[in-house]
C-alpha cells in the first residue's frame, strides 16, 4: 500500500497533535471531576449531566461543523473548534456556579463537534484512496493516546491544585490553536466558490434525515454500533470487574490502559497491512465477530491474565473497525468530505450518549446483560456490511 506523501506528513502531524491535545485535555479532567464537584456540593448525578451536556453538544454541532468546513474551509473550522475547547476549559476552571459548568461543557462539546469532522475531512482531502486508511488510523491513534495519557496526567497535576488541570488543558488547547496557523488550507478559494453554488444549507434535522439516503448510510450505522459497543463496554467495566473479580481501581486502570495501548499499536502499525491483505469489508466483518466473542468471553471468571488477554483482544479488534469504516465513508463522500465527516461524528456522539445510559440500566438488572446485549448488537451489525456491499454492486452495474 502506498506511503503518505511528504507534503501530507506535516499537516497530518499537526492534525494528530491537535486531536491528541484536545483529547488529552478532556481526559485530564475526568479523574478529578468528583473532587472538583464537591466544591459545588454536587455528586454523581451532576457529573452524569455534565457528560451528557458535552455529548449532546457534539451530537448537535458535528453535522453543522462538517457542512461549514465544506463551505468555509477546513482550517477555519478547526481553529474555531480548538478555540471553543480552550474557552470551555478556562470557564470550567474559573466557574463558581453549577449553571456555568454546564455552559462550559456544552461549549466544549461544540468545539469538538466543529473540529473533529473538519480534521477528518482535511485528511480525506490530502490523501488518496490508497493512503486514506493509514491517515484515518493515525488520527484514531492520536485520539486514543490522548485519552489514555490524560487521566494519569490530570491526577498528577491536580496535586498543585484542583483547578490547575483545567487551566493546563486550556493552555494546551491554545498551543494547538497557534500551531494550526501553520496548517495550509485544502479548500482553495476557487473550489469553495464552486462548491458553495451547489451546497444547500440544511437544518440539523434535515441533515439527519438526508443521511438515510447517502450511499454510506449503513456505514454510519456501523459507526454508531461500534461506538455504542465500546462505550457500553467501558461504562460498566470498572463496576463489572470489581464485582466479579474484586480487583482494585489501580488493577482495573492497568487493564484498560494496556488494552488502549494495544489499540494504538494496531492503528499505527497493523491497520494498513491488514487492509492490504484482507480488504476493508472483510476486516470489518472479522473485527465485529471477534469483538462480539470477546464480550461474551468477559462473562467467564478465570484470573487476571485471562481478563488481560480478553480485554486486549477487544481493544485490538475494535481499533481495526473505526478508521476502516471512516475510510469507506470518506471514499463514498466524493466532494462532500466535510458533510460526511460531520455525520460520522454525529453518529459517534449518538452512540456515546445512548450507550452509557443503556449500559447502566442493563447492569442494574444483571451484571452480564451489558456484555450480552453488546455482543448481540455487534454481531448483528455484520449484516450491514453485506447489505452495503450489495447496494454498491447494484450501483456499479447500472
The model's pLDDT over 98-154, given as tens digits with 9 standing for 90+, comes to 899 889 989 998 998 899 889 988 888 888 877 887 788 888 888 877 877 776 677
3-class SS of residue 2: coil
For the residues 77-102, what does the mean pLDDT come to? Answer: 91
The model's pLDDT over 214-264, given as tens digits with 9 standing for 90+, comes to 888 888 988 888 888 777 777 677 678 878 888 765 676 677 777 778 877
Q: In whole angstroms, what separates CA 382 from the centre of its chain?
A: 21
pLDDT at 368: 92
User: Residue 355: pLDDT above 70?
Assistant: yes
For the residues 323-331, what does the mean pLDDT come to? Answer: 86
User: Residue 377: pLDDT above 50?
Assistant: yes
3-class SS of residue 248: coil
Task: Report residue 94's pLDDT band, with 50, 70 and 90 as the boundaries.
Answer: very high
* CA 266/CA 280 separation, integer angstroms: 15
pLDDT at 110: 92
The model's pLDDT over 183-199, given as tens digits with 9 standing for 90+, comes to 888 776 545 554 544 44
In sequence order, what are the residues at sequence separation of 6 or more whose Cβ sits closer than 8 angstroms to the Cβ of residue 76? 69
- Domains detected in the chain: 1-198 (1.20.1250.20), 202-397 (1.20.1250.20)
pLDDT at 123: 87
User: Residue 395: pLDDT above 90?
Assistant: no
Distances (CA, A) of 312 to 222, 295, 302: 21, 11, 15
Helix 280-297 × helix 382-397 angle, to 10°? 170
pLDDT at 332: 85
For the residues 31-39, what does the mean pLDDT come to? Answer: 74
Comparing 48 with 350, which gets the higher pLDDT? 350
* CA 370/CA 367 separation, integer angstroms: 7
Q: CA triplet 368, 373, 378: central angle to 5 degrees?
A: 130
* CA 392/CA 398 separation, integer angstroms: 10
DSSP structure string for 178-237: HHHTTPPPSS-HHHHHHHHTT-----HHHHHHHHTTSTTHHHHHHHHHHHHHHHHHHHTH
Amino acid at each position: 500500500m502506498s506511503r503518505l506523501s511528504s507534503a501530507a506528513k506535516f499537516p497530518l502531524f499537526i492534525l494528530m497533535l491537535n486531536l491528541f491535545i484536545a483529547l488529552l485535555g478532556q481526559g485530564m479532567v475526568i479523574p478529578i471531576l468528583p473532587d472538583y464537584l464537591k466544591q459545588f456540593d454536587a455528586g454523581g448525578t451532576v457529573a452524569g449531566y455534565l457528560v451528557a451536556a458535552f455529548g449532546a453538544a457534539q451530537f448537535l454541532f458535528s453535522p453543522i461543523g462538517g457542512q461549514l468546513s465544506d463551505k468555509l474551509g477546513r482550517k477555519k473550522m478547526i481553529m474555531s473548534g480548538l478555540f471553543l475547547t480552550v474557552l470551555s476549559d478556562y470557564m470550567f476552571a474559573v466557574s463558581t456556579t453549577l449553571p456555568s459548568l454546564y455552559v462550559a461543557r456544552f461549549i466544549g462539546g461544540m468545539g469538538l463537534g466543529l473540529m473533529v469532522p473538519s480534521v477528518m475531512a482535511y485528511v480525506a482531502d490530502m490523501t488518496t484512496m490508497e493512503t486514506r486508511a493509514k491517515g484515518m488510523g493515525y488520527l484514531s491513534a492520536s485520539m486514543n493516546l490522548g485519552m489514555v495519557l490524560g487521566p494519569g496526567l490530570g491526577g498528577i497535576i491536580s496535586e498543585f491544585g484542583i483547578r490547575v488541570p483545567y487551566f493546563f488543558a486550556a493552555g494546551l488547547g491554545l498551543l494547538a490553536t497557534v500551531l494550526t496557523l501553520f496548517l495550509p488550507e485544502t479548500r482553495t478559494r476557487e473550489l469553495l466558490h464552486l462548491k458553495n453554488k451547489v451546497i444547500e444549507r440544511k437544518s440539523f434535522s434535515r441533515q439527519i434525515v438526508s443521511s438515510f439516503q447517502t450511499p454510506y448510510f449503513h456505514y454510519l450505522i456501523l459507526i454508531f454500533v461500534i461506538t455504542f459497543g465500546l462505550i457500553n463496554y467501558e461504562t460498566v467495566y470498572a463496576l463489572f470487574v470489581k464485582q466479579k473479580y474484586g480487583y482494585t481501581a489501580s488493577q482495573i486502570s492497568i487493564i484498560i490502559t494496556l488494552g488502549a495501548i494495544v489499540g494504538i499499536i494496531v492503528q499505527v502499525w497493523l491497520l494498513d497491512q491488514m487492509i492490504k491483505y484482507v480488504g476493508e469489508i472483510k476486516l470489518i466483518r472479522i473485527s465485529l465477530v471477534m469483538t462480539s466473542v470477546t464480550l461474551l468471553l468477559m462473562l467467564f471468571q478465570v484470573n487476571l491474565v485471562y481478563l488481560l488477554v480478553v480485554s486486549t483482544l477487544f481493544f485490538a479488534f475494535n481499533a481495526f473497525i473505526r478508521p476502516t469504516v471512516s475510510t469507506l465513508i470518506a471514499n463514498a463522500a466524493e466532494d462532500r468530505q466535510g458533510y460526511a465527516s460531520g455525520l460520522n461524528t454525529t453518529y459517534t456522539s449518538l452512540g456515546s450518549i445512548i450507550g452509557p445510559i443503556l449500559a447502566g440500566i442493563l447492569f442494574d438488572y444483571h451484571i452480564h446483560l451489558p456484555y450480552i446485549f453488546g455482543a448481540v448488537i455487534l454481531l448483528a451489525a455484520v449484516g450491514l456490511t453485506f447489505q452495503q456491499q450489495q447496494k454498491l454492486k447494484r450501483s456499479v452495474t447500472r
